[in-house]
A and B are shown apart, each in its own frame.
Chain A
Amino acid sequence: MWRYGKLFWIQLKASLLLSMQYRADFFVDAVISMFWAATALAPLWVVYGEKVQGQIPGWGLGEAMLVVGCFVFLQTVLEGAIQPSLQTVIEHIRKGTLDFVLLKPADAQFLVSTARFQPWKASSFLASMAIFAVAFARIEVWPSFGNLARGAFLLLLAIGLLYSLWIWVVSAAFVVVKVDNLTFLLGSIFDVGRWPISIFRGFFRLLFTFVIPTAFMTTFPAQALLGVLTYGQLALVVVCTVIFAVVSRWVWLRSIRRYTSASS
């Protein structure tokens, strides 16, 4: 465990060194990701704006902002940690350099999953925290410690879900090699997470709850922060995350087994 902690730190350090090599890029990227985080709020201004006077049933502007906060937070993790690392797997497969990873005496999934981070995404992490703060200020009720802990726990599970989904996509790269479209599609679907699940009905509600569980990733953590999440719902997310994690590990191991590496 300690060894993997050390490996994680060394890989993270390499990413930090890498991104700081290009100073101008580092700052520009930081500002741009902050800007994108702010634009995540834009659709809310439209819905709750004076002209439309809309409402999402059960969700005031402040509450809906909490969902956006969760969305921006997860997007930060996705774009700052999960996607860059797993994108390198796709590169490895295409170039045949995954051979080197597979011959290392450490878990290959761990090594590739921590291979690359984009530290400037930390700025959009700050933006997500700001959105949480503004949202609570609007609601005018600050969360209890219990609610905060439950919310944080659910966000952690959400990272697990998101990571598992991405492992599936990456595993597809072992079969079809070019999966750029698939990652793009999944990225677009994840965009749905900026809305509370209650705006969807019927098929889409089921789809975004159980198949691509954006509801578990953003709506449920927001509900936990608001103190309205039931223990049943919490248990459902835990079970779902465990299933996703186990299946994704299985898919990964199977993919590795069928990997025959690009020809020399």
Chain B
Amino acid sequence: MIDVDELKKHYSVFRREPGLKNSLKALFFRKKTEVKAVDGLSFHIAEGKRVGFLGPNGAGKTTTLKMLSGLLYPSSGKVLVDGHLPYKREARFLKKIILVMGQKQQLLWDLPPLETLELNRAIYEVPMPVFRKRLHALTELLDIGPQLRTPTRQLSLGERMKCELAAGLIHGPKLLFLDEPTIGLDVSMQQTIREFIRSYNEKEGATLILTSHDMDDVEALCPRILVIDKGRLLFDGSVAQLVAQVKPEKRIALRFEGNSLPENLDSYGRVVATGAGEAILQLGLEKVSEVLSQLLARFPVKDLTVENPPLEEVMSELFSKHTLAENEMAEHALAEHALTENERAENEMAERETPKHEVTAKAP
């Protein structure tokens, strides 16, 4: 469905230093710098899959999404989406996709969402019976009957997002690009949106690419994740693989009989949270089975669950490792540079000395 090979997007931006003097200077002389928003991404996504793009701010997630949907021309590399070159923005391609952005909206602000749906029906040339059927299904699934007839500006953020999804899906796209779809929503609304997205994917067999800051979104929705940082791919695989690779630890959530906690619990692992008769231990993967049997044998355990450490923690570990590795590389490069400086100085000295000998040699 999606083939991306060595995809790059480099921008030229003008850099301006702060302060009045620099601003005046920048009016006439501007410094151009190159920003590598996406810097050599390669991946393949099969039809019907749910894939999450993860990465910190400015990692290149949205830029990648925009290149996949055809909004941006790649600087170089190959991108093929369902047999189309996205940047050509052919009508046949555009009818297959949808881009939903949590921070931007396409609904007409002062009119009920139904008007936007009606407009999209005409733009996407959806036959009336199909439109009615889809509208009915979307209204049921998203529970937005009354909201569709209320002016958008009077809707809550969550209701607006639901209508936004309805407006995006009325033409039955095969490929969904969702950019931070749950941003700013409360927990239960996030849950609703996630459930809906999952059921749409399962029922329609649509391919789904999601970017989010919210690890819960990605964990709940995407069996496969691509971690991007500074425009490059850091990881490609499942959440479990990511955890195993970056932070091979597990969390054991324990509930004991009564409200008190056993003493020296920290000798079994790192205690990351405690409550009345409850505690969460985090420990290395290799120790889990041993510690579990010890805990069960020694304490009145009422209930226990073993789970992965939170994705946030794993991600911050991954990024700090990445930054550390980069810093090391930079230091190494600096050291090499310093060496060549020294070498150059030595060479220069040697050069200066050599002619002297020659001169003295030639003098007589």
Q: Which residue numbers of A lie inside 8 Å of B, CB to CB?
A: 3, 6-7, 10-11, 14, 17-18, 21, 95-97, 99-100, 102-106, 111, 257, 260-261, 263-264
Q: Does B30 contact A (CB under 8 A)?
A: no
Asked if residues A99 and B103 are in contact (CB atoms below 8 Å), the reply is: no
Interchain CA distance A95-B101 in the complex, whole Å:
12
Interchain CA distance A105-B84 in the complex, whole Å:
14
Can you list, as one digit per residue, whether each of B170-184 has a CB less than 8 Å from chain A (1) or not (0)?
A: 000000000110000
Interchain CA distance A3-B106 in the complex, whole Å:
21
Between-chain CB contacts (< 8 Å), 7 pairs = A10-B119, A14-B115, A14-B119, A99-B104, A105-B94, A257-B73, A263-B62
Residues of A within 8 A of B106 (CB): 97, 100
Residues of A within 8 A of B92 (CB): 105
Closest beta carbon of chain B to A1's beta carbon, Å: 13
Contacting residue for B179 out of A10, A111, A264, CB 8 A: A264
Asked if residues B89 and A14 are in contact (CB atoms below 8 Å), the reply is: no
Contacting residue for A21 out of B70, B101, B110, CB 8 A: B110
Closest beta carbon of chain B to A26's beta carbon, Å: 13
Q: Does B122 contact A (CB under 8 A)?
A: yes
Contacting residue for A103 out of B99, B119, B180, CB 8 A: B99
Contacting residue for B99 out of A7, A99, A105, CB 8 A: A99
Residues of B within 8 A of A99 (CB): 66, 71, 99, 101, 104
Closest beta carbon of chain A to B218's beta carbon, Å: 17
Interchain CA distance A230-B70 in the complex, whole Å:
49
Most chain A CB within 10 A, of B72, B91, B98, B123, is at: B123
Closest beta carbon of chain B to A14's beta carbon, Å: 5
Contacting residue for B97 out of A6, A95, A103, A261, CB 8 A: A103
CB-based nearest B residue for A256 = B89
Asked if residues B110 and A103 are in contact (CB atoms below 8 Å), the reply is: no
Most chain B CB within 10 A, of A6, A102, A103, A104, is at: A103
Residues of B within 8 A of A97 (CB): 104-106
Closest beta carbon of chain B to A10's beta carbon, Å: 5
Closest beta carbon of chain B to A23's beta carbon, Å: 14
Q: Which of B70-90 contact A (CB under 8 A)?
A: 70-73, 89
Q: Does B124 contact A (CB under 8 A)?
A: yes
Q: Which of B235-281 contact A (CB under 8 A)?
A: none
Asked if residues B123 and A104 are in contact (CB atoms below 8 Å), the reply is: yes
Q: Assuming the A-B contacts A103-B71, A103-B94, A261-B66, are A11 and B119 also in contact, with contact meaning beta carbons closer than 8 angstroms in the complex?
A: yes
Asked if residues B111 and A261 are in contact (CB atoms below 8 Å), the reply is: no
Residues of A within 8 A of B119 (CB): 7, 10-11, 14
Residues of A within 8 A of B95 (CB): 105
Asked if residues A14 and B94 are in contact (CB atoms below 8 Å), the reply is: no
Q: A18-B111, A103-B70, A104-B124 are in contact. List 18 more A-B contacts (CB 8 A).
A: A3-B125, A7-B119, A14-B115, A14-B119, A17-B111, A18-B110, A97-B106, A99-B104, A100-B99, A100-B106, A102-B70, A102-B89, A103-B97, A104-B123, A105-B95, A106-B91, A263-B62, A264-B103
Q: Does B202 contact A (CB under 8 A)?
A: no
Interchain CA distance A231-B101 in the complex, whole Å:
54
Query: Lowest 5 CB-CB distances: which A-B pairs, in order?
Result: A105-B91, A264-B62, A105-B94, A100-B106, A106-B123
Q: Does B69 contact A (CB under 8 A)?
A: yes
Q: Which residue numbers of B lie inside 8 Å of A, CB to CB?
A: 11, 62, 66, 69-73, 89, 91-92, 94-95, 97-99, 101, 103-106, 108, 110-111, 115, 118-119, 122-125, 151, 179-180
Asked if residues B99 and A10 are in contact (CB atoms below 8 Å), the reply is: no
Asked if residues A260 and B72 are in contact (CB atoms below 8 Å), the reply is: yes
CB-based nearest B residue for A4 = B122
Closest beta carbon of chain A to B183's beta carbon, Å: 10
Interchain CA distance A80-B123 in the complex, whole Å:
23
Residues of A within 8 A of B66 (CB): 99, 261
Asked if residues B115 and A17 are in contact (CB atoms below 8 Å), the reply is: yes
Interchain CA distance A6-B125 in the complex, whole Å:
10
Residues of B within 8 A of A95 (CB): 104
Interchain CA distance A122-B304 in the complex, whole Å:
73
Asked if residues B118 and A10 are in contact (CB atoms below 8 Å), the reply is: yes
Residues of B within 8 A of A104 (CB): 94, 123-124
CB-based nearest A residue for B96 = A105
Most chain A CB within 10 A, of B70, B92, B104, is at: B104
CB-based nearest B residue for A97 = B104
Q: Assuming the A-B contacts A18-B110, A99-B101, are A3 and B72 also in contact, with contact meaning beta carbons closer than 8 angstroms in the complex?
A: no
Most chain B CB within 10 A, of A104, A257, A261, is at: A104
Interchain CA distance A10-B11 in the complex, whole Å:
38
Asked if residues A96 and B104 are in contact (CB atoms below 8 Å), the reply is: yes
Asked if residues B111 and A7 are in contact (CB atoms below 8 Å), the reply is: no
Asked if residues A7 and B101 are in contact (CB atoms below 8 Å), the reply is: no
Asked if residues B123 and A105 are in contact (CB atoms below 8 Å), the reply is: yes
Interchain CA distance A176-B95 in the complex, whole Å:
32
Residues of A within 8 A of B115 (CB): 14, 17
Interchain CA distance A11-B111 in the complex, whole Å:
12
Interchain CA distance A263-B71 in the complex, whole Å:
12
CB-based nearest B residue for A115 = B108
Residues of A within 8 A of B69 (CB): 103
Interchain CA distance A155-B36 in the complex, whole Å:
50
Residues of B within 8 A of A260 (CB): 11, 72
CB-based nearest B residue for A106 = B123
Most chain A CB within 10 A, of B62, B91, B94, B122, is at: B122
Interchain CA distance A95-B180 in the complex, whole Å:
17
Closest beta carbon of chain A to B284's beta carbon, Å: 38
Interchain CA distance A7-B122 in the complex, whole Å:
6
Closest beta carbon of chain B to A264's beta carbon, Å: 4
Interchain CA distance A106-B179 in the complex, whole Å:
23
